[in-house]
Amino acid sequence: MIIDRIENASRYYSLGEGIAEAFEHLKNNDLTTVKPGSYPIIKDKLRMLVFDAEQTNSDRIKMEGHRKNIDVQYWVSGSELMGYAPLQAQSLLAPFNEEKDYGNYEADGSFTRFEPGMFAIYFPSDLHTAVADEQCTSAVRKIVYKVNIE
């Protein structure tokens, strides 16, 4: 897992073409007005998800993980607490969804507040979850890039 601010994004371009493309897309597009949804950026390689949400999640034990994708998550507005735990021998709470590349794990993690202008990179070895930030008084707008690593 990597946590940083968007002005430092170029430091991470060497981690792979998909990560560099995600940051270039962030830099070159106004994502404040894009409607929530899923958008292909590079066919079968990079997809963008746009989320607008009121904060309701308070589950600090259920974390998600992926096998085929790296998540590059960027906060446009609002703030969240993001939990992280390294994937080790945690138990899946239900069968892994191969089609959606998504599994929920029982895991106890450490939490960091993410605010506008911050990003996180979650690799397949990183479990993560978002929970409400009680200090946040606005809706959260988050951009998630799914970088396919197959």
pLDDT confidence of residue 56: 62
Q: Give residue for tokens 């599994």.
A: 103
What HEC string does 59-71 produce?
CCCEEEECCCEEE
pTM for the model: 0.94
Q: Mind listing the pLDDT tens digit for each residue in 87-143?
A: 999 999 999 999 999 999 999 889 999 999 999 999 999 999 998 888 877 889 999
Of 120, 113, 126, 124, nearest to 145 by C-alpha is 120
- Give the residue, 12 or 150, on which the prediction is more confident: 12
> Which sign does the torsion angle of CA 59, 131, 112, 91 carry?
positive
> Domain 2-148, what architecture?
Sandwich (2.60)
Q: What is the Cα–Cα distance from 150 to 28, expressed in whole angstroms? A: 26
pLDDT at 118: 98
Mind listing the pLDDT tens digit for each residue in 44-85?
999 999 999 876 666 667 899 999 999 999 999 999 999 999
pLDDT higher than threshold 80 for residue 32:
yes
